[in-house]
């Protein structure tokens, strides 16, 4: 199975909004709403930020939001803060009953 | 508060079997609708799902690793384990265990990860 496609890097200034895309196929992203997003700081375990396309776990800032259209999904971070600088990964269920991560995006706060 | 902790050898020889255990504390591993997974991350690279196991013992594996992977549960010890056979240098990575959030496929609770090096 192929990893979902994400941009290698996205950057923005503090206070701005940025969007990270995640592109798959009708067999994964487009076929199911089991799409989630993870934030990973260097040397740390990933942290769940969004699950089932647009749901935020308790404790995750409402500056993070998710959406999906067709075979692509997006994570938007509004009011960008220095602490948001990290790697972000999308993740989806697939038609072969497996799971696949995206290629990862490094977010830089300028 | 549910916590997960990986344990196992940090060094494995090529062609041998990598064996890791994840100990679950603060909750029961055999609660209904619970399932658990393993994920790895080679140094400087992205995340890769290895496989998952349901509370009833049913398993799902990454097709690219399926021939070498076995995940099992020991309810008496509140642990689940990963065995990866015939390892090569490409299997060197930080290995994480994690819990799937009930009712979804997302991983909501993660262990801290353990680095495994493959070398003779």
pLDDT tens, position by position, B55-81: 888 999 999 999 999 999 999 999 999
B37 vs A2, A39, B109, CA distance in Å?
A: 19, 18, 10
**Region for B96 from its dihedrals, namely left if φ exceeds 0, alpha if ψ lies in -120 to 50, beta otherwise:** beta
- Computed over every residue of chain B, the mean pLDDT equals 95
Interchain contact, A97 vs B46, CB within 8 Å: no
Average pLDDT of span A58-68: 97
Q: Which pLDDT does position B30 carry in this prediction? A: 85
Contact status, residue A48 vs residue A61, Cβ threshold 8 Å:
no
Sort out which chain A residues have CB atoms less than 8 A from B110's CB and list them. 45-47
Give CA–CA dist A35/A109, Å, rounded.
25
Contact A1 B48 (CB under 8 A): no
In the block, residue with structure tokens 């997302």: B106
* Nearest CA distance, A47 vs chain B (angstrom): 7
Chain centroid to Cα B78, Å, comes to: 14
For residue range A73-101, list pLDDT tens digits in order.
999 999 999 999 999 999 999 999 999 99
Largest Cα span, chain A: 41
Say how far apart CA B10 and CA B80 lie, in whole Å.
18
Q: Which two tokens stand for residue A35?
A: 């799409």
How far apart are alpha carbons B105 and A34 in whole angstroms? 6
Question: Quick one: tokens of A81?
Answer: 């803060």
């Amino acid at each position: 199975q192929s990893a979902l496609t994400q941009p290698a890097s996205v950057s923005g200034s503090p206070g701005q909004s940025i969007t990270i895309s995640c592109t798959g196929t009708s067999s994964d992203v487009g076929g199911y709403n089991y799409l989630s997003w993870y934030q990973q700081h260097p040397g740390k375990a990933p942290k769940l930020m969004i699950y089932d396309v647009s749901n935020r776990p308790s404790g995750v800032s409402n500056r993070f939001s998710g959406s999906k259209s067709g075979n692509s999904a997006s994570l938007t971070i509004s009011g960008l803060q220095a602490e948001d600088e990290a790697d972000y990964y999308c993740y989806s269920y697939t038609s072969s009953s497996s799971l696949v991560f995206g290629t990862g995006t490094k977010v830089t706060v300028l | 508060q549910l916590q997960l902790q990986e344990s196992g050898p940090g060094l494995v020889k090529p062609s041998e079997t990598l064996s890791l255990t994840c100990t679950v504390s603060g909750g029961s591993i055999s609660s209904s609708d619970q399932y658990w997974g393993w994920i790895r991350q080679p140094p400087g690279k992205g995340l890769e799902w290895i496989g998952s196991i349901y509370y009833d013992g049913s398993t799902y594996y990454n097709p690219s690793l399926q021939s070498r992977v076995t995940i099992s549960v020991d309810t008496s010890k509140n642990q689940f384990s990963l065995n990866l056979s015939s390892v090569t240098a490409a299997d060197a990575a930080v290995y994480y265990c994690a819990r799937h959030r009930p009712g979804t496929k997302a991983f909501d609770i993660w262990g801290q990860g353990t680095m495994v090096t493959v070398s003779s």
